[in-house]
Structure 1
Amino acid sequence: MTHAHTAADIGDSPQSRSLFYRKVCGLPTFVDPTTGRIMMSAGSTGAVMMPADLAQRVKIELHRRNVGPCPIIGHPRAGTWSYLIRADMEPIGDPAVVAQLWRAHVAVVRDGDIALPSPEPGHQLARTWVVAATTPFRPSGTTLLACVRELLDAAKPRNHGPY
Structure 2
Amino acid sequence: MTEPTPSVPFGDTPHARCVFYRRVCDLPARIDPPELGRITVASGHLAALVLPSALAHAVHTDLQHCYRRDAVPALGPVLSHPRSGRWTFLIRPDFPDDTALFTELFRLHISLTHPGTTLALPSPTDRDTHFRRWIHLPHNPFRPAAHTVLDSIRACTARTGWLRTSTLGPRP
Interval of TM-score (by shorter of Structure 1 and Structure 2): 0.7 to 0.9
Instruction: State the partner residue of 1:160.
Output: none
User: Structure 1: which 5+ runs fail to align?
Assistant: 1-5, 158-163
Structure-to-structure mapping, 1:23-42, within 5 angstroms: 23-33=23-33, 35-42=36-43
Once residues 75 and 156 of structure 2 are traced to their aligned partners in structure 1, the CA distance between those partners, rounded to angstroms, is: 19
Once residues 154 and 75 of structure 2 are traced to their aligned partners in structure 1, the CA distance between those partners, rounded to angstroms, is: 20
Instruction: State the partner residue of 1:18.
Output: 18
- Tell me how far 1:140 sits from its aligned partner: 0.8
Instruction: State the partner residue of 1:50.
Output: 51
Is residue 38–residue 126 contact of structure 2 (8 Å, CA) maintained in 1? no
- Is residue 153 of structure 1 aligned with residue 158 of structure 2? yes
The sequence identity of aligned pairs, in percent, is 34
Structure-to-structure mapping, 1:6-155, within 5 angstroms: 7=8, 9-33=9-33, 35-66=36-67, 67-94=73-100, 97-111=101-115, 112-122=117-127, 124-154=129-159, 155=161
Is residue 118–residue 124 contact of structure 1 (8 Å, CA) maintained in 2? no
The TM-score normalised by the length of structure 1 is 0.83
Number of residue pairs the alignment of both structures matches = 149
- Tell me how far 1:123 sits from its aligned partner: 5.5
Instruction: State the partner residue of 2:70.
Output: none
User: Structure 2: which 5+ runs fail to align?
Assistant: 1-6, 68-72, 165-172
- Tell me how far 1:99 sits from its aligned partner: 2.8
Once residues 46 and 126 of structure 1 are traced to their aligned partners in structure 2, the CA distance between those partners, rounded to angstroms, is: 20
- Tell me how far 1:121 sits from its aligned partner: 4.1
Once residues 121 and 80 of structure 1 are traced to their aligned partners in structure 2, the CA distance between those partners, rounded to angstroms, is: 17
- Tell me how far 1:11 sits from its aligned partner: 1.9
Once residues 12 and 105 of structure 2 are traced to their aligned partners in structure 1, the CA distance between those partners, rounded to angstroms, is: 36
Once residues 45 and 98 of structure 2 are traced to their aligned partners in structure 1, the CA distance between those partners, rounded to angstroms, is: 17
Is residue 21–residue 29 contact of structure 2 (8 Å, CA) maintained in 1? yes
- Tell me how far 1:148 sits from its aligned partner: 1.1
Name the SS for the 1:48 alignment partner: strand
CA 1:89–1:121 in 2, change beyond 3 Å: closer, same or farther? closer
Once residues 82 and 132 of structure 1 are traced to their aligned partners in structure 2, the CA distance between those partners, rounded to angstroms, is: 12
